[in-house]
Amino acid sequence: MLTSFFQLYKQAYSGLSRNSWYLCIVMLINRSGTMVVPFMSIYCIKQLHFSIVEAGTIMSLFGVGSISGAFVGGKLTDKFGFYDLQVGALLSGGILFLILGYQHTFLSVSIGTFVLSFCNESFRPANSTAIAHYSTPENKTRSYSLNRLAVNLGWAVGAGFGGLLASINYHLLFWVDGVTNIMAALFLLRLMPRASVINTIKKIEEGIVSTSAYKDRIYLAFILLSALFGICFFQFFIMEPVFYKIQWHFSERFIGFLMALNGILIGIVEMVLIHNLEGKRNGLTYIITGVLMGAAGFVLLVFLPAGTAAAILIVLLMTFSEMLAMPFMNTFWISRSTEYNRGEYAALYTMSWSAAQVIAPLTGGLIIAFGGFSLLWWALCGLSVVAAGGYYLLYRFVKTG
């Protein structure tokens, strides 16, 4: 039994390229310092004494910057390649995290958040293109899951340690986030020297016309549905921590534990799960299942009494929702792209999540201000069901050709 267990894990992680592992290491370092975003709403409300609506506005500006950064990042990736953009985004993002920690007015925090998110999000299309470049059709979903593993293990460290630091001094969060961004850039330069990488990147040949992602109607429908799911998903990291603090009166340390639990579960389960699911059914069916599990998690926030067991159960549902949906969303977008337009497809996918970052905190804050948390959870449940229905229609359309 034990031998079979270890064999399962070995199979799940085998066959991936060395550079895929290097990208994973860089991402792990970067995300281990992810402390500002999960506590930004609480920081704005509790430390800077902003209103819930102002905190939601700041988080929305983070999303606006993300959209802009993703769009520009995708264009630059297809034109110049993915390597230089990753290094530049990590270095500039690290410096800007340090600067943002010293801003205290609503205007300066808003501007700083926008510029920071612009630089940070320009990294994503380049990174997604790099992962695709170093994967094969047989392991592309696992390659992205490996990257997500790094993201979520880093998230577990960052959120857990961030909760501890937040209980001491919120300003420390900005320093750790900034320093780890810079360290990730330095490790990328060390593990994958520029000269050795640039030589492997295929440039667009003269006379080749690549199809624009903005003319792919099926993909545009997928992007819209992804944005709807993203609006719901981001509440888990933006408004749920506020709910746990204000309504259920959890400490910052326990909120950090809940956020860390999400990353720990993904680190233990996702790669094996994807290894066993990949190629057996259409990926859209797994996406539908994941979205509906998220809807169930929002319903439980309405009906379950405050308590440790209830919070952990909700985290379990939201985590499995994420593990089923997101890896196969990556598989879908990469399957519709080519090496000549992959940056644009990656950018549009990133922009859908960035748009969700704009809408989620702003609408979440407004709904809470005028109708309370219960109304928000019901609205998110309904939106999740709508998204699942849309994915089902897309599945039927793709299946029938």
Tens digits of residue pLDDT in 204-228 = 444 444 677 788 888 999 999 999 9
Give the H/E segment covering residue 393. Answer: helix 342-400
Cα gap 242→38, rounded to integer Å: 10
What does the pLDDT average to over 317-345? Answer: 85
User: Residue 129 is encoded by which pair of tokens?
Assistant: 């293109």
Distance of CA 309 to the CA centre of its chain: 26
Nearest of 363, 378, 367 to residue 60 by alpha carbon: 363
Most confident of 151-155, 278-282, 365-369: 365-369
> Which of 189-198, 316-325, 353-362 has the weakest average pLDDT?
189-198
Report yes or no: 58 and 50 within 8 Å, Cβ to Cβ: yes
User: Within its chain, how far is the Cα of 314 from the centroid?
Assistant: 19
Comparison of pLDDT for 32 and 96, the residue scoring more: 96
What's the whole-number average pLDDT of the chain?
Answer: 82
Side-chain-side CA neighbours of 126 within 13 Å: the count stands at 25
Task: List, for residues 163-207, the tens digit of each pLDDT value.
Answer: 777 777 788 888 888 888 898 888 888 887 765 565 555 544 444
- The predicted pLDDT at position 392 comes to 93
Number of H helices, E strands in the chain: 16, 0
Q: Give me the pLDDT at residue 228, please.
A: 93
- List the single range of 124-138, 274-288, 311-325 with lowest mean pLDDT: 124-138
d(CA 39, CA 34): 10
Tens of pLDDT, residues 268-312 = 888 888 878 877 788 899 999 999 999 999 999 999 988 889 999
Write the DSSP symbol of residue 297: H
Residue with tokens 């690290």: 94
Separation of alpha carbons 324 and 5, rounded Å: 21
Of the candidates 149, 158, 205, 186, the one whose C-alpha atom is nearest the C-alpha of residue 24 is 149
Nearest CA to 103 among 33, 171, 30, 52?
Answer: 171
* Residue 111 one-letter amino acid: I
The predicted structure's pLDDT at residue 293: 95
Categorise residue 15: left if φ over 0, alpha if ψ from -120 to 50, beta otherwise. left
The stretch 343-349 carries a mean pLDDT of 84
**Positive or negative torsion for Cα 346, 347, 351, 352:** negative
Question: What 3-state class would DSSP assign to 104?
Answer: coil
Distance CA 161, CA 170 (A): 12
Output the CA torsion 66→60→359→395 (10° steps).
Answer: 20
Amino acid at 66: S
Q: Which one has a higher pLDDT value, 259 or 376?
A: 376
Q: In one letter, which amino acid is 41?
A: S
pLDDT in tens, 40-94: 777 888 788 888 788 878 877 887 888 888 888 888 887 777 888 888 888 888 8
> In this structure, are residues 163 and 252 in contact, taking their beta carbons and an 8 Å threshold?
yes
> What's the pLDDT score for residue 226?
93
DSSP 101: T
d(CA 132, CA 77): 13
Contact (Cβ atoms closer than 8 angstroms) between residue 367 and residue 375: yes
Type of residue numbered 114: F
Task: Calculate helix-pair angle for 2-13, 252-277, nearest 10 degrees.
Answer: 90
Whole-angstrom distance, CA of residue 179 vs CA of residue 33: 8
CB 250 within 8 A of CB 244: yes
CA atoms within 13 A on the CB side of 128: 32
Is the pLDDT assigned to residue 35 strictly greater than 80? no
Q: What percent of the chain has pLDDT over 70?
A: 91
